[in-house]
Amino acid sequence: MAYHDPNTRFYKTSEGAVVGGVCSGLSENLKIDVSLLRIVAIVLAFTGVGILPYVILWIALPRKSDLI
């Protein structure tokens, strides 16, 4: 079961990133397999729903290296 600490912040990471690092950062933070998040992002992108939220997260989320 995934566990999320409410005191942690979401971030994107360049380690293991394919496009913008959004899915890899969210998967580290939420402790979910990155492949699952990428599949969901791709499906949502093909339906037209997921492109804008991904771009917003890409712009809004800080890099992990900036938080340290």
Give domain limits for the chain.
22-67
Mean pLDDT over 12-30 rounds to 81
CA–CA gap between residue 31 and residue 1 (Å, rounded): 9
pLDDT at 68: 63
What is the predicted pLDDT for the residue at 47? 92
- State what percent of residues in the chain have pLDDT above 70: 84
* CA gap 13, 22 in Å, rounded: 7
- Report pLDDT for 4: 53
Instruction: Report yes or no on whether pTM surpasses 0.85.
Output: no
Taking the C-alpha atoms of residue 3 and residue 41, their distance in angstroms, rounded to an integer, is: 21
Nearest to 66, CA basis, from 13, 8, 16, 6: 13
Kindly give, in sequence order, each residue whose CB lies less than 8 Å from that of residue 28, ignoring residues fewer than 6 positions away. 13, 64
